[in-house]
Structure 1
Amino acid sequence: MRWMAAALMALAAAVAAMAMALSDGPPERADALPSSAGPLAVRRVAGPFEHPWGLAFLPDGAMLVTERQGRLWRVGADGAKTEVAGLPPVEEDGQGGLLDVLAARDFAATREIFLTYAAPDPAGSRTTLAAARLAAAGDRLEDLRVLFEQTPPVRSGRHFGSRVVEGSDGTLFVTVGDRGDPPNAQDPARSIGKVLRVARDGSVPADNPFAGTPGTRPEIWSLGHRNPQGMALDAEGRLWTVEHGARGGDEINRPEAGRNYGWPRISYGTHYSGAAFPGSAAPGLEQPVYYWDPSIAPSGMVVYSGRLWPEWAGDIFVGALKFRLLARLDREGDRITGEERLFKELFGRIRDVREGPDGALWFLTDEDDGGLYRVTPAR
């Protein structure tokens, strides 16, 4: 009778999902949402947050959450929130504001964190990377210093990127979108529409692919990116990104040193005007590993370890803003072989997704009353 129990569970999950969709807001918890790995439990751990953007885990079980408006919160394991002071000036403009946050791997010794944000400038704004120390009390940043500023500044509230990941060698990868002006992504003299790589002190690593190349920004790792809002490492230390297309053509890429990923010369989408791109492939331009058409408006991403769900080891999870879902991509090496869509329309616009220290999945919803949610196997 195992099939009957499974059918009843699926029916119960469908009824619960319908009830949630008809309610006034997202549920605080859901205990049996269906998935290919069995039923999932989802619990809202903290909130409300006003348009949260980035999430980082600290060794003591606490977390850091950014709000785009320019606030940083320390969230205890019990969900209690403490606002962190000492942030830099932030330009909240359109998609810009306080964006990603990352705790250094050696945080336990250094208490160092990294922030990306839109910094105000007389000529517009700049996607910026800064480092700081979180005070022992967890309520203030100290010794804040800018490591990188996008060049040049731009008057636009669009396409800031902006994720930061610590590479396996301790260098920092940062994404910067094209700032709403597509030709930026192909201009080697501009650090816009690129994946960048800098050392933890802000210097340029000597083995960057364009270090010492005249007329090219030395921090560029790869170019031809539209608006990468998700970035993660796999178990082998390789870099993955997800970025917004135009109308269609959202892409999963695996950026490698010196490679060109094509925007705006090629795309699987179309211009917002309806005009077609010259094509979807061209010599010297890399193809995406995977793409969506129609767009799902992807945001944060994580390559999952398999700790709680061994069958999902190595798979990629991507948050989606447009359809308010979490996409799981079956990955075999450098290929995506299938997609599963979880939680569609249940919780809100999923802005970031991370794996917690115990293997649970966590996500943030980008709403006026956004929440921090934890996903585990249903018991």
Structure 2
Amino acid sequence: MRRLFAVISALGVFVGVGHAQTKSTSAGSVQLDKMVDGLDTPWAIGLLPDGSFLVTERNGTLLLVSDGEAREVSGAPRVAARGQGGLLDVTVARDFAQTREIFLTYSKPQRGGAGTALAVAKLSDNGRRLQNLREIFESEPGFSGGRHFGSRVVEAADGTLFVTIGDRGDRPSAQDRANHNGTIVRVARDGSIPPDNPFVGVTGVQPEIWSYGHRNPQGAGLDLQGNLWTAEHGARGGDEMNLIAKGVNFGWPVISYGVHYSGASIGEGTRRDGMEQPVFYWDPSIAPSGLLVYSGKLWPSWRGDIFVGSLKFDYISRLEGSPLREVEQIQSTETGRVRDIVEGADGSIWFLSVGEGAVYRMTPG
């Protein structure tokens, strides 16, 4: 026990350190329990079937929090931890109980800079290390800078994997399908290219591309019908909610509802033939990140609603309806810079606060 305490203290991570807080919402009072504290620029959480959970820190650290203990998991991939890059998303495979596999996205050091990569690995039985780490996708190399890596990985109903990739700060490249910038890519679990991807066999186009014309999608998730949604950073104004479809061009930087940070206009305006409109957009920008479509298990009135974390205004946005609109802002001292949001097997809502350096679990109050 003395050795374990030293490990936790060295990491600066503390488990179960906060008293539960309550907050009023449209579905009644909710309780916010702090599950872990002292995290260093956390990026994503992955819930495991036994009640433990994984947390990525952008500096490259992967943590497992289990039975009131937090410890580093060895064997994480080497990352380019600069700017917005580092160890980013973690997604637990649906068949984890059989395979113990997880998916990780990260900024990989490359010739000429860094790019978004996807790997799969097996978590050892004791949770202390990753085994058989395999990189199964790497974005086209050659882009410098530390901005706009995406980067979420979502396991689709058919077992293929969607990965969101930002434009890397090179706006025109989001319309150039010879690279992966500003795209959502789709690969099989072994890294192969699904034959029904929309651009397979098209000369000069990366065959992993599923959709393109994205600026920086940092939130992604499946709705209750299995459709992929993303939450995407605009420039100044124009953060978007998009319903992703095969082969579609989402317009960046030709069309946008925002403006450049200088105040200058972007592209051609808000519409162009052949380019998809967002389902909803925020103006002013909220800096959206993690995205969850809720099942309704604990709060039936929220079934099918979309929850998105705000990095800028420190709240959780709830969206519903057709047309989609923001109907509620869940805000408290705990919701500082919400980077990720996921649903537990029991219907609880877990979210990661960069501002608090903590993971919280929301349950009925």
TM range (shorter): over 0.9
Q: Is residue 247–residue 295 contact of structure 1 (8 Å, CA) maintained in 2?
A: yes
Counterpart for residue 341 of structure 1: 329
2:356 maps to 1:373: no
Give the SS at the match of 2:324.
Answer: strand
Aligned pairs for 1:209-248 within 5 A? 209-248=198-237
Q: For the structure 1 residues 29 and 248, does the alpha-carbon distance in structure 2 shift closer, same or farther, using more than 3 Å as the test?
A: farther
* AA partner of residue 353 (structure 2): T
Counterpart for residue 208 of structure 1: 197
* AA partner of residue 100 (structure 2): R
Counterpart for residue 286 of structure 1: 276
Counterpart for residue 17 of structure 1: none
Counterpart for residue 147 of structure 2: 158
Q: CA deviation at 1:122?
A: 3.2
* AA partner of residue 273 (structure 2): P
CA distance in structure 1 between the aligned counterparts of 2:89 and 2:278, rounded to whole angstroms: 24
Q: CA deviation at 1:345?
A: 5.1
Counterpart for residue 104 of structure 1: 93
Give the SS at the match of 2:172.
Answer: helix
CA distance in structure 1 between the aligned counterparts of 2:122 and 2:277, rounded to whole angstroms: 39
Give the counterpart of 2:312 among 305, 319, 322.
322
2:61 maps to 1:71: yes
Q: Is residue 325–residue 345 contact of structure 1 (8 Å, CA) maintained in 2?
A: no
2:161 maps to 1:175: no
CA distance in structure 2 between the aligned counterparts of 1:229 and 1:307, rounded to whole angstroms: 25
Q: CA deviation at 1:80?
A: 1.9
Choose 35-44 or 241-250, whichever is displaced more: 35-44
Counterpart for residue 350 of structure 2: 362
Q: Is residue 314–residue 331 contact of structure 1 (8 Å, CA) maintained in 2?
A: no
**Deviations for 1:3-23, whole angstroms, at most 9, x for unmatched residues?**
xxxxxxxxxxxxxxxxxxxxx
Q: CA deviation at 1:331?
A: 3.4
CA distance in structure 2 between the aligned counterparts of 1:92 and 1:320, rounded to whole angstroms: 22
Q: Is residue 129–residue 146 contact of structure 1 (8 Å, CA) maintained in 2?
A: yes
Q: Is residue 307–residue 358 contact of structure 1 (8 Å, CA) maintained in 2?
A: yes
CA distance in structure 1 between the aligned counterparts of 2:190 and 2:321, rounded to whole angstroms: 34
2:340 maps to 1:352: yes
* AA partner of residue 228 (structure 1): P
Q: Is residue 160–residue 189 contact of structure 2 (8 Å, CA) maintained in 1?
A: yes
CA distance in structure 2 between the aligned counterparts of 1:331 and 1:297, rounded to whole angstroms: 22
Q: Is residue 45–residue 54 contact of structure 2 (8 Å, CA) maintained in 1?
A: yes
CA distance in structure 2 between the aligned counterparts of 1:79 and 1:208, rounded to whole angstroms: 43
Counterpart for residue 248 of structure 2: 259
CA distance in structure 2 between the aligned counterparts of 1:88 and 1:32, rounded to whole angstroms: 38
Give the counterpart of 1:28 among 1, 18, 21.
18
Give the SS at the match of 1:49.
Answer: coil
2:296 maps to 1:306: yes
Counterpart for residue 184 of structure 1: 173
* AA partner of residue 68 (structure 1): R
Counterpart for residue 19 of structure 1: none
Counterpart for residue 184 of structure 2: 195
**Deviations for 1:210-236, whole angstroms, at most 9, x for unmatched residues?**
011111000000000000000000111
Q: CA deviation at 1:152?
A: 2.5
Q: Is residue 291–residue 309 contact of structure 2 (8 Å, CA) maintained in 1?
A: yes
Q: CA deviation at 1:29?
A: 4.2
Give the SS at the match of 1:352.
Answer: strand
* AA partner of residue 36 (structure 1): S
Q: Which runs of 5+ in 1 are unaligned?
A: 1-26
Q: CA deviation at 1:338?
A: 3.9
Counterpart for residue 140 of structure 1: 129
Q: CA deviation at 1:272?
A: 1.3
Counterpart for residue 95 of structure 1: 84
2:42 maps to 1:52: yes
CA distance in structure 1 between the aligned counterparts of 2:342 and 2:283, rounded to whole angstroms: 25
Q: Is residue 51–residue 365 contact of structure 1 (8 Å, CA) maintained in 2?
A: no
CA distance in structure 2 between the aligned counterparts of 1:88 and 1:198, rounded to whole angstroms: 19
2:286 maps to 1:296: yes
2:262 maps to 1:269: no
Q: Is residue 237–residue 259 contact of structure 2 (8 Å, CA) maintained in 1?
A: yes
Give the SS at the match of 2:98.
Answer: helix
User: How many residues are paired up?
Assistant: 348
**Deviations for 1:305-340, whole angstroms, at most 9, x for unmatched residues?**
0001000000000000001110111134xx314420
* AA partner of residue 75 (structure 1): V
Give the SS at the match of 2:318.
Answer: strand
Counterpart for residue 15 of structure 1: none
CA distance in structure 2 between the aligned counterparts of 1:307 and 1:40, rounded to whole angstroms: 14
* AA partner of residue 276 (structure 1): S
CA distance in structure 1 between the aligned counterparts of 2:63 and 2:361, rounded to whole angstroms: 17
Give the SS at the match of 2:301.
Answer: helix
* AA partner of residue 353 (structure 1): I
Q: CA deviation at 1:30?
A: 4.9
